[in-house]
Structure 1
């Protein structure tokens, strides 16, 4: 019976036991969002046999989450369950990238060179010490003369001591001459080694705090296989950065150099990855808000004596609600884009170190033909400012971001660039024009008050506004000033201006006036402005 069982076991095909395959992953592509990123990893491994196996990938960052991970098998693979394990991990060698391996080899080579230089210096110092010791011994010789010494033997002994002493001191001098080059060689070896170590430390490194990915899989056949892992992480971001350069030489022209600032703190470096920048915001609100039924009710009107007692409570209850209703809805860049997604695919592989400073990557250059003018606000400023009006002719919005402002290649300031939708117009500032001098004088009134005359029910204010061009360049000037406005029929407002303004209630702002004129070099434009407010007696102006 036992013999028959042995024959059956030997001739019956049994299922192969699952074997654990250890593999590593490599980040090949990254899509960065304004808040977060999507990583694409490639895992290559060799299945020793067809059938079921367990794949162990022990180089994922410790912050990895299984719920934010997707696995896609290559041809000939079937995937089962997978999990992440952060403890009882198998030991692994210190992860080094190819660049780190080359830098480590250079450090080791220079360490050997440093040892050789140190040994050479020690050898020179030994020669100096030996020669100086020999010279000291010969100079201190006090041995007694032999009994049969003759003048000839004494002279021979003295000559020998002198010659040996001279030879020893010459050897010491020769060795000392080699001492300085040997010291310099060691110093250079130390400097080269320090630079190599710094270069090694500066290279992006693989993550040392890691977690393991365990995947159950079935291979159709033995051989090379791949698995693609898509992983979403939060500690990454990008934002636009602009350089705006306005030039008026040979015609008004505005160039916008677009760049991006990319940063990440995922715990591992992205080395030589294909980088895509997306304006999508998957981490923000994806569904519309919910409206809840609002119950209103009426109650008996309180008596007069209750109003005084409850006035404080009523004010506390009503004021927050009134303020909330009056506050404008917050404006965000995402809402201004109305769901449009801008994607930039960077044309070259990129390395982004974890925890390092923002990596700045250039994108492209846009050219515009702006409308340039000088905007003057004499009520607050002493000079006019350059403003360029541009229309976005591209089919994509310009995303919000920091912008450096240049005029004729000279830095004049910085600003925040809001979203500019396709076809939308915006005004961009480009610094002060020191040659356009502004003044706003209020001449003396009869009562001695500067530009203001007030009675019990009337107030008059006058001003003389001037813009003077002291430079050599002609400018189109847009002059802005203001007068009060009234919404009460009993408060009468009369405005006199010479010349009359070209525009009133600028941009829907009541009481804001604008004049537009060309100002040649050496010329001056003056505007007189007066307004009078009158109201019934017994009323007070506020």
Structure 2
């Protein structure tokens, strides 16, 4: 697309002469509204310009480069459009720096000056120390009388005194320089940390792209008019999703309060400042027409003719060609990820207060109103897998809104964080069981008491296998718990493999949730109570067969 702009739309320069007699007006646009979809965002920029009657050119500044230029939509009520001209890599017309950015840039420059000054001072101290060391070396040589005759006693005493004083002063200079060096290192460490923070703050203030687009609109007005300009275009560097916090409040009337946030971030290359934001589950890039079906002609023929036909190269190629046409249609139908919402507009949320979000620098959590649901609290246990039961709250979505699926969901009990997990979503008036962690006081134990010959291997050659399992449930809490215990027995779809089972007590439900072989016992566990479930299973099959 950039090549197209360079080779075709750059020709707009030649068209400037067509409006040479028209007056040119400038309008600065800003992002005023954004709608975020699952795959992209629709960004709307607005501007306003007052025009006298006649033909004019409007140059709109502030526009970033739009990759999908064919998706750009320009609205200009009140005037007739004569032409629209676009050009890339146009010089930036104005400095978009904010006072905050200017202050951050000044802070970075100030710290860099301090670092330079500290380095100069440190270098001066180092040079003074080197000079002192050279002086000491000279004094030592002088003290030893190297290269000169020995002086008389008075001169020797004066020389020794001078060497002693100068050496002491030089050593003091070296010690002072070393102490300063340690102080300089600490100051440099602090200044470098300050510089890193200042640079990070400057970077966080804006990561807007410098590249902009030249956009000129030639229009004609019948009379003086104020034109509200609107430009909309897509950008896929935006993402959003729901973030949930489910808090189960226990007590006489348990309830679940759902705190909802919309989590959003953007790297579009342009900052959003006080924009009207809306998020939507609608999918603009989905199919808008159903798939075409192709006639499926079938025929019969003599078996010999069919064999001859399939051995001929021409028929093989014909069959391959037919499959190549039909297979993609089936694959698209099976793999389509948007089919379930093809005929629905989806859920959307609009925020009353304007939203500001910097490009590539911020992650925003925008709050939606809390919703509260009555909860039916119980316990559920799967002794084959877990040594404890788990707290379950069943809710009905009475909010009137669809609760969207969220991979960022936290679960609390009376304000205490229990854990995190995935929430699959919930349509209005639908019900869902939510897990809120283990109940340590509801202990579950499953033991295999007896198993006939054939052992526990995957493959057995015995024609009968009997097992006896015992499930023990103990309530060590101080409250009554309605508890559902889940276990299973094998099932078969072969007549030769006979499976029988019995349980004491009898299960409350068989084939739970239409899953064959899953059994459930609904128990009312009193404080301190222990219950035992016994499950007997027999499998029988003919001699010569193996059990798998």
TM-score by length of 1: 0.73
1:480 aligns with 2:483: no
Aligned to 1:92: 93
Structure 1 residues 329 and 412: CA distance shift in structure 2, 3 A: farther
Following superposition, the deviation at residue 418 of structure 1 comes to: 1.6
Q: Within 5 Å, give how 1:246-261 maps onto structure 2.
A: 246-261=248-263
Q: Within 5 Å, give how 1:192-271 maps onto structure 2.
A: 195-220=197-222, 225-271=227-273
Following superposition, the deviation at residue 280 of structure 1 comes to: 1.2
Please state whether the residue corresponding to 1:444 is helix, strand or coil: strand
2:22 maps to which of 7, 18, 33:
18
1:392 aligns with 2:397: yes
1:63 maps to which of 61, 66, 70:
66
Aligned to 2:513: 507
Following superposition, the deviation at residue 115 of structure 1 comes to: 10
Aligned to 1:368: 373
1:468 aligns with 2:474: yes
Structure 1 residues 279 and 531: CA distance shift in structure 2, 3 A: same
1:52 aligns with 2:52: no
Q: Within 5 Å, give how 1:414-425 maps onto structure 2.
A: 414-425=420-431
Aligned to 1:159: none
Structure 1 residues 334 and 242: CA distance shift in structure 2, 3 A: farther
Aligned to 1:168: none
1:78 aligns with 2:98: no
In the aligned structure 2, how far is the partner of 1:225 from the partner of 1:328?
A: 47
Check the 8 A contact 2:449/2:467 in 1, yes or no: no
In the aligned structure 2, how far is the partner of 1:327 from the partner of 1:261?
A: 31
Structure 1 residues 205 and 254: CA distance shift in structure 2, 3 A: same
Q: Within 5 Å, give how 1:113-512 maps onto structure 2.
A: 195-220=197-222, 225-287=227-289, 289-300=290-301, 302=303, 335=340, 339=344, 341-356=346-361, 358-402=363-407, 403-445=409-451, 447=453, 449=455, 457-512=463-518
Following superposition, the deviation at residue 493 of structure 1 comes to: 3.0
Following superposition, the deviation at residue 103 of structure 1 comes to: 4.0
In the aligned structure 2, how far is the partner of 1:471 from the partner of 1:211?
A: 69
Please state whether the residue corresponding to 2:210 is helix, strand or coil: coil
Structure 1 residues 187 and 51: CA distance shift in structure 2, 3 A: farther
In the aligned structure 2, how far is the partner of 1:193 from the partner of 1:327?
A: 54
1:41 maps to which of 42, 45, 52:
45
Structure 1 residues 222 and 188: CA distance shift in structure 2, 3 A: farther
Following superposition, the deviation at residue 446 of structure 1 comes to: 6.4
In the aligned structure 2, how far is the partner of 1:264 from the partner of 1:370?
A: 37
Structure 1 residues 101 and 46: CA distance shift in structure 2, 3 A: farther
Please state whether the residue corresponding to 1:60 is helix, strand or coil: coil
Please state whether the residue corresponding to 1:335 is helix, strand or coil: helix
Structure 2 unaligned residues grouped into runs of 5+: 1-18, 124-172
Aligned to 1:163: none
Q: Deviations over 1:184-213 (max 9, x none)?
A: 999999877765554332202443022222
Check the 8 A contact 1:66/1:83 in 2, yes or no: no
Q: Within 5 Å, give how 1:530-541 maps onto structure 2.
A: 530-537=536-543, 540-541=546-547
Aligned to 1:131: none
Structure 1 residues 253 and 259: CA distance shift in structure 2, 3 A: same
Following superposition, the deviation at residue 409 of structure 1 comes to: 2.7
Q: Which has the larger radius of gyration?
A: 1
Structure 1 residues 516 and 220: CA distance shift in structure 2, 3 A: same
Structure 1 residues 449 and 278: CA distance shift in structure 2, 3 A: closer
Following superposition, the deviation at residue 220 of structure 1 comes to: 4.8
Q: In the comparison of the two structures, how many residue pairs are matched? A: 495
In the aligned structure 2, how far is the partner of 1:511 from the partner of 1:262?
A: 44
Check the 8 A contact 2:265/2:364 in 1, yes or no: yes
In the aligned structure 1, how far is the partner of 2:190 from the partner of 2:70?
A: 54
Structure 1 unaligned residues grouped into runs of 5+: 1-14, 123-171
Structure 1 residues 361 and 512: CA distance shift in structure 2, 3 A: same
Check the 8 A contact 2:283/2:338 in 1, yes or no: no
In the aligned structure 2, how far is the partner of 1:334 from the partner of 1:59?
A: 38
Structure 1 residues 83 and 473: CA distance shift in structure 2, 3 A: farther
Q: Deviations over 1:266-299 (max 9, x none)?
A: 2222222121111211122222x22423323334
Structure 1 residues 446 and 438: CA distance shift in structure 2, 3 A: same
In the aligned structure 2, how far is the partner of 1:424 from the partner of 1:517?
A: 26
Structure 1 residues 528 and 44: CA distance shift in structure 2, 3 A: same
In the aligned structure 1, how far is the partner of 2:48 from the partner of 2:61?
A: 13
Structure 1 residues 190 and 472: CA distance shift in structure 2, 3 A: same
